[in-house]
């Protein structure tokens, strides 16, 4: 069975758009369930033990960049360099593929106005389609895991998932979604799920790249991991940028 772990970068709110980061990215990592629970979980635990002497710390981009919630030692430049060198080496060796939908919120709003779809729900449609294609004609071959946010947003996500199973998407029929994907599970950050932490680490470099900000090492690693077609094309297969 394959699992798609989801995370986001940026805010899906269209009524408030940050001029410094007018992006919303919903992205995820796809891998085998046994790999996620075995080799991946073990590799992340070993990395955390080596760096911090503990395994209960949760890799979270916002905490890493702000040196908080266990990442205070990153204020030390030599430790920070060691941390990022180790983290990038780890990301490079792990076995996963990346799918993401990146939305320029300002362009999306100016094009569609009051009819503009919620970026999270629009992105979810895109990623569920790609995941269905990736799973193929395997009944119960996929599972989606996303991080809990707050009760209102979680309820919206549950409703969106239910709607996908009833309505389908532009390219995938409802019965195929229901047949191929067992469900969408919400897990808390404190559960320390390795796949969700990996998803968190890949969405920010995608957002920075699509926005045109300078690329760092993590982008080049993510770029190598994107889902592609047989000719190696990423756009439309591993990365969908909207509006087109």
Token representation of residue 55: 């395994």
Q: What pLDDT score was predicted for residue 5?
A: 98
What is the percent of the chain where pLDDT is above 90? 90
Token representation of residue 70: 């266990």
- Order of strands, edge to edge, in the sheet holding 239-242? 181-187, 142-147, 2-10, 23-32, 97-104, 239-242
Residues facing 102 on adjacent strands = 25, 241
Region 109-119: mean pLDDT is: 91
What's the pLDDT band for 119 if we cut at 50, 70, 90?
very high
Region 1-12: mean pLDDT is: 94
Q: If phi over 0 gives left and psi between -120 and 50 gives alpha, with beta otherwise, what is residue 133?
A: alpha
Residue 217's nearest CA partner among 97, 92, 30, 95 is 92
Query: Using one digit for the tens of pLDDT, what is the confidence trace for 149-163?
Result: 889 889 988 988 999
Q: What pLDDT score was predicted for residue 16?
A: 85
Q: What pLDDT score was predicted for residue 156?
A: 86
Q: How far apart are CA 28 and CA 184, in angstroms?
A: 13
Mean pLDDT, rounded, of the chain: 95
What the chain holds in terms of domains, given with CATH numbers, is 2-242 (3.30.420)
Query: Using one digit for the tens of pLDDT, what is the confidence trace for 36-62?
Result: 999 999 999 999 999 999 999 999 999
Q: What pLDDT score was predicted for residue 32?
A: 98
Q: What pLDDT score was predicted for residue 237?
A: 96
Is the predicted pLDDT of residue 33 greater than 90, yes or no?
A: yes
Query: Using one digit for the tens of pLDDT, what is the confidence trace for 128-147?
Result: 999 999 999 999 999 999 99
Query: Using one digit for the tens of pLDDT, what is the confidence trace for 198-224?
Result: 999 999 999 999 999 999 999 999 999
- Give me the long-range contacts of 112-116 (CB less than 8 A, separation at least 24): 112/243, 116/14
User: Which of the residue ranges 9-13, 142-146, 205-209, 239-243 would you say has the lowest mean pLDDT?
Assistant: 9-13
Q: What pLDDT score was predicted for residue 11?
A: 87
Region 73-89: mean pLDDT is: 97
């Amino acid at each position: 069975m394959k699992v798609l772990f989801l995370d986001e970068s940026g805010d899906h709110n269209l009524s408030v758009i940050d001029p410094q980061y007018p992006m919303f990215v919903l992205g995820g990592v796809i891998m085998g369930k046994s790999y996620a629970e075995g080799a991946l979980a073990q590799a992340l635990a070993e990395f955390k033990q080596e760096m911090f002497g503990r395994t209960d710390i949760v890799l979270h981009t916002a905490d890493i960049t702000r040196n908080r919630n266990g990442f205070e030692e990153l204020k030390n430049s030599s430790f920070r360099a060691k941390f990022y060198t180790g983290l990038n080496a780890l990301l490079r060796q792990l076995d996963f593929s990346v799918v993401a939908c990146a939305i320029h919120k300002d362009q999306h709003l100016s094009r569609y106005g009051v009819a503009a779809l919620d970026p999270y729900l629009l992105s979810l449609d895109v990623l569920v389609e790609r995941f269905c294609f990736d799973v193929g004609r395997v009944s119960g071959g996929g599972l989606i895991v996303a991080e809990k946010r707050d009760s209102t947003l979680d309820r919206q996500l549950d409703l969106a998932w239910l709607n996908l199973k009833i309505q389908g998407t532009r390219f995938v029929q409802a019965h195929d979604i229901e047949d191929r994907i067992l469900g969408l599970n919400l897990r808390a950050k404190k559960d320390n799920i390795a796949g969700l932490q990996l998803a968190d680490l890949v969405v920010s470099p995608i957002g920075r790249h699509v926005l045109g900000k300078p690329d760092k090492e993590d982008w080049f690693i993510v770029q190598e991991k994107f889902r592609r077609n047989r000719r190696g094309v990423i756009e439309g297969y591993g990365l969908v940028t909207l509006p087109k």
